Structure 1
């Protein structure tokens, strides 16, 4: 299986990150600082140096080790953002978590929705994973729309779960398992067969 070959749906595609993506991704992160800062992972130990080339090398090493799958999302073959499958666990758990960002100029084009659907299908159908999770801050309404549109199932509130934008933040947890989508996440979304309330957060958990 060649993961460098893009998986495509219309104008949107995903492929394995490349070392030569460093320049465009770093520039997008700089240009979109105000757009992305609120959702960026940070370190409780203080600021860390930012080197996209080194970051990509580390991500690709994780891919070779089988612990991650770093992808870029593209619009009409132009890099629009990044999608990272991390925390890959094999064996009896066979699960992973997806995180992502898209540049502001590409927002509103369903790039993230389609990218997450294709990445989830890739994990469940080609990489033989069983469960994919997405954790989202309650304030991140754009990301919540992604899991609503794709029918990720709400699984609970995780208090002070990830260090984001300088502090430990609460997150909602959503997931899909292979049995939920026997024909694939993207196919279910395209056919309009997504369960309407799967991602609904109960009133008791709303923040």
Structure 2
């Protein structure tokens, strides 16, 4: 892809951010747009910096992505920007997951102190306590964070179209060699949710 086309696509991203910002009431100021060489999830919204990141590799330099699909990438991240509950959800998720992991470690320490004996049986119990703690943190993470992804998907579908977002998801799904991090639902699950929302004409909640 030549530099002129890459520049045009970057300008398209900037216009999409501006369009959504003007059309969406939000307590946050206009986010900064930054292009990064590579991003595991193709795009990301950083709440702390109020910044939308879009990957060049795999997004802007991919000729298979239409203008609409590129807009959908940006619109999804703007969905996180517009979601009034997203920052709270992230903080809640961090507190809950780290608390579970911490309880596992404390349980292991409690076993060691309570038995006052270090042998294979004690070490096994300590190991199991840690595994249970971290297992609970991993199990709770999707419950705490998946709704944010669904909100952003619905927001992107409203800002572009459901068909465009689904096409984008299927494109990325075909390229994936492994699943995204556990805090993201699978592409297949997200596609089904978008299809259901489209059938029921469900719109995302207004973000204030």
Normalising by the residue count of structure 1, what TM-score does the alignment of the two structures yield? Answer: 0.31
Question: Bigger radius of gyration, 1 or 2?
Answer: 2
Which structure shows the higher strand fraction? 1
- Looking at secondary structure, tell me which structure has more helix per residue: 2
- Compare relative contact order (CA 8 Å, sep 6+) and give the higher one, 1 or 2: 2
